[in-house]
Amino acid sequence: MSFLKQINPFESAMKQFDKAASLIKLTESQIAMIKEPRRITEVNLPVRMSDGSIRIFKGFRVQHSIVRGPAKGGIRFHPSVTVDEVKALAFWMTYKCAVVGVPFGGGKGGVMCDPNELTPTELENLSRRYFAEMSDLFGPDSDVPAPDVNTNPQIMCWMFDTYSMHKKQFLPGVITGKPLELGGSEVRSEATALGMVFCVEEATDHLNIDLKKATIAIQGFGNAGSYAAKLLKEHGSKIVAISDISGAYYNSDGIDIDKALETCRKNKTWILTGLEKNTPCEKLEDPGTLLELVVDILIPAALENQITAENAPNVRAKVIAECANGPVTPEADEILEKKNVFIIPDILCNAGGVTVSYLEWVQNRMGYYWSKERINEDLEHIMKKSFDEVLEKSKTYKVDMRIAAFLLAIERVTKAAELRGLYA
């Protein structure tokens, strides 16, 4: 783990950008307009704790680009949040939105905290304080956040209410990932996983892999990972391994995903502790070995920098579907490309979340809400069309899918920046 922490996610993001930008020969001026974040905000958040003391939390919001629309990106609560991590995530959001063609730029936020150590009241106070301190940034036409690691629809409600109280208006379009009762959208909970599954369907068709017979390992069993397991099981796939912070669990005959979900419900959180007692499976001694199992499809759905130059030589999956942001480092990418591993890159693969967030934002602006069937249809169309566009770019330039996705996205962001020109 010490090695993973040394990897700077923003430096990884810049390497990905540079590799793609060199292929389309962007000028220095073009690069200057679209590469670095436009605004970085860091705040100290004083919060009164349950014992009456005041504790200071560090909070960040990065707007990478607003060239194609309002900044868009989640807010994460995690002890390891850093400004470089948030910069990288905002960068990826810019190009994620561009690759699927939704009219947003990239943003991301974070607070250095462990929400599991906070009481419900302390968590609400921190959430509201963060949004109040950043209220000059947020708005339906300027910056629209959403849930991310360790944040959820309830936290979005507190943030939406804080903003609406400041503005003295009902403004659901300021944030997405809300419950249906406050302007949320159908499909939002499973959107990231469902978008990934649409990409996996296209990838397996392209590679002549029978998805109904495919073996799958999933790292991370939070919202995205658990829905991915459920949806792929419904496709007939065999989920042989899953993991979370409690460890990794393996059964070559397939893990009972219903039992895994039941275990999480019993634990009252997305934690699989005790799964080996509830259904046949073994707990792997080293959770990292999940990434090295012989499977058709590997789905990293946890944090960034999980597959590195150290463990990439041991990866034996045919397909990697990046449900997490930045799970494969640039150095690992080169190793995996030589091994002919087909990677569905994060800025395409996990864009289902921001796509349905966009549809939620549109519904909020109209005050008219669509059926689950309508949302599913729109999401499938957008994801499969985007996959096909990236695949075509990959064939044209003879590059891997990650570089192809960046080529497509960079061209779109560059064109928008040039059309807008420079306000002097």
Provide the annotated active-site residues: 108
What is the β-pairing status of strands 238-244 and 247-250? antiparallel
What is the β-pairing status of strands 143-147 and 105-111? unpaired
- Pick the closest to residue 324 from 190, 224, 177 (CA basis): 224
Element (H, E) at 382: helix 372-397
What is the β-pairing status of strands 215-219 and 297-300? parallel
- Does residue 123 contact residue 89 with C-beta atoms inside 8 Å? no
Distance of CA 221 to the CA centre of its chain: 14
- Pick the closest to residue 177 from 302, 359, 38, 324 (CA basis): 359
Q: What is the 3-state secondary structure (H, E, C) of 218-247?
A: EECCCHHHHHHHHHHHHCCCEEEEEEECCE
The order of strands in the sheet holding 319-321 is 282-283, 247-250, 238-244, 215-219, 297-300, 319-321, 342-344
Alpha-carbon gap, residue 353 to 188, rounded angstroms = 7
Element (H, E) at 271: none
**The length of the chain, given as a count of residues:** 424
Rounded to the nearest 5 degrees, what angle is found at the Cα of 314, between the Cα atoms of 95 and 331? Answer: 40
Alpha-carbon gap, residue 274 to 264, rounded angstroms = 9
Identify residue 109 by its one-letter amino acid code.
G
For residue 149, CA distances in Å to 155, 240, 342, 353, 387 come to 12, 25, 26, 13, 25
